[in-house]
Amino acid sequence: MRCPRCLNEDPTYFYLGSKGWMCRRCVSFKRVLIMEEQVQIAPYELSVDCEEYTLDYPLTSLQKNVAERCAKMIFEQDVLIEAICGAGKTELVFPTIAKMLSLKKRVCFAISRRQVVLELQQRLAKTFTKAKVVKVCQGFTDDLFGDIVVCTTHQCYRYHQYFDCLILDESDAFPYKGNVVLAGIVRTSCKGHIVYLTATLDDYLKKRIKEKSIVHLQLNARPHGHDLPVPKKKVGLQFMLFYHLLRWIEMHREKPLLVFVPTIKMSQYLYYFLRLFYHCDHVNSKTRDLDTKILAFRNKKNNLLIATTILERGVTIENVNVCIFMANHPVFDEASLVQMSGRVGRTFKYPHGDCLFLCSAQSEEVDACIQKCQKANAHKMFVV
Ligand SMILES: [Zn+2]
């Protein structure tokens, strides 16, 4: 027996209700009968000629190469685009989306985080001006259909076997990462092929590459063409780390400095310590006025911001330098270290910057992240 929605095959999750067999693994989404014919959603009439799109700046030749290959290969099998932070990975799927729309196919852009859904919907609406781009996430579930549906991975349960092409962004981010139920729901919402967009590979994608069941496109260059800043590492006793941190702040004092810490408690301690010497602030998942604080940092009202992993993704601060305090802490894995160090050198105006990992012990994850950056600089593009 197999759940038609989350693809569960583990018999311990199945139970016989009064109406028939049910799957307990994905029951929180909506009850689904195992033998039930899945109800087809009323088809949405796609807009005519909505495949045109406008870009803020033209794609680089490397971006173009990857983007065109994706648009071609997606008709044959799933595609994985592994691109470093700041490589402009969203733009890489625009030709794929345009091609799908020209063939009157239904496109979905699924993302882990709600905030990104809201931002991306606006961006796609500006890019594909003739298409109807809808956002579907918590707070926005009245209008479910459009030429392009931008939704959280969670909301894919509403579209059983509906999409012809699904683009899954940030498959390495919470809550999608490692969640088998979400993975099943996303898979079954699409009857065509999936494009995976990510900066780091999880075990599932590594397995798919090994099996050669996915096209693997790799882009290791940012549009400005400069190398990815490679993080430096210092290992020492904790009091020495404080010393290194203070030295690092002194060295880069003129620039916006972002210090990542593994826990909320540590963000508070470090804030109380550093505010004795500097004008600074701290943010974590419990910070209520997060946007205001980020804006203040962006507008250079505070040159020093202490943050937990809440800021590891999606934030671009011009000319920022990054230090990760206790980078060897188990809270940080390779993916989050890659994301945090990926905040540095993203803009055309400031393509360089400094990134420092302060560790109280050696860590495989830290070394893997540094090696990944070095390898990326050695091979800008890679196609399998
Ligand atoms: Zn299920």
Residue-level pLDDT at 382: 61
Ligand 1 ion local residues (Cβ < 5 A): 3, 5-6, 8, 23, 25-26
Q: What is the mean pLDDT of residues 83-90?
A: 93
Domains in the chain (CATH in brackets) are 1-39 (no CATH), 61-219 (3.40.50.300), 232-379 (3.40.50.300)
Q: What is the mean pLDDT of residues 18-40?
A: 78
Compute, in angstroms, the gap from residue 3 CA to the centroid of ligand 1.
5
Query: What is the spatial distance between Cα 332 and Cα 18, in angstroms, rounded to a whole number?
Result: 46
Compute, in angstroms, the gap from residue 176 CA to the centroid of ligand 1.
16
Residue-level pLDDT at 276: 93
Compute, in angstroms, the gap from residue 364 CA to the centroid of ligand 1.
36
pLDDT band at 249 (very low <50, low <70, confident <90, very high): very high
Sign for the pseudo-dihedral over CA of 328, 333, 336, 339: positive
Residue-level pLDDT at 34: 75
Residue-level pLDDT at 383: 58
Compute, in angstroms, the gap from residue 159 CA to the centroid of ligand 1.
14
pLDDT band at 270 (very low <50, low <70, confident <90, very high): very high
Q: What is the mean pLDDT of residues 291-318?
A: 90
Residue-level pLDDT at 35: 72
Instruction: Answer yes or no: are the C-beta atoms of 339 and 85 closer than 8 Å.
Output: yes
Q: Say if residue 37's pLDDT is above 70.
A: no
For the stretch 135-184, pLDDT in tens is: 999 999 999 999 999 999 999 999 989 999 999 998 888 889 989 999 99
Residue-level pLDDT at 267: 96
- Mean per-residue pLDDT of the chain: 92
Closest C-alpha to 355, from 319, 382, 310: 319
Compute, in angstroms, the gap from residue 23 CA to the centroid of ligand 1.
5
Closest C-alpha to 236, from 139, 357, 153, 134: 357
Q: Say if residue 305's pLDDT is above 90.
A: yes
Compute, in angstroms, the gap from residue 14 CA to the centroid of ligand 1.
8
Query: What is the spatial distance between Cα 325 and Cα 274, in angstroms, rounded to a whole number?
Result: 13
Compute, in angstroms, the gap from residue 28 CA to the centroid of ligand 1.
9
More confident residue, 289 or 37: 289
Compute, in angstroms, the gap from residue 34 CA to the centroid of ligand 1.
8
Compute, in angstroms, the gap from residue 181 CA to the centroid of ligand 1.
7
Structure tokens at 112: 């882990």
Residue-level pLDDT at 380: 73
Compute, in angstroms, the gap from residue 22 CA to the centroid of ligand 1.
8
More confident residue, 350 or 48: 350
Q: Report which listed range, 38-52, 307-321, 356-370, is most confident.
A: 356-370
pLDDT band at 45 (very low <50, low <70, confident <90, very high): confident
Residue-level pLDDT at 235: 98
Compute, in angstroms, the gap from residue 171 CA to the centroid of ligand 1.
20
Residue-level pLDDT at 302: 83
Q: What is the mean pLDDT of residues 126-132?
A: 95
More confident residue, 211 or 300: 211
Apex 194 CA angle, 125 and 332, nearest 5: 90
* Alpha helices in 252-352, H assignment, sequence order: 264-274, 290-298, 334-341
Q: Report which listed range, 35-39, 199-203, 269-273, is most confident.
A: 269-273
Compute, in angstroms, the gap from residue 31 CA to the centroid of ligand 1.
9
Compute, in angstroms, the gap from residue 9 CA to the centroid of ligand 1.
8
pTM for the structure as a whole: 0.90
* Alpha helices in the chain, H assignment, sequence order: 61-73, 94-102, 114-127, 180-189, 203-211, 238-251, 264-274, 290-298, 334-341, 364-378
Buried b (16+ CB within 10 A) or exposed e, 97-120: bbbbbeeebbbbbbbbbbebbbeb
Compute, in angstroms, the gap from residue 105 CA to the centroid of ligand 1.
27
Query: What is the spatial distance between Cα 171 and Cα 332, in angstroms, rounded to a whole number?
Result: 17
Residue-level pLDDT at 49: 85
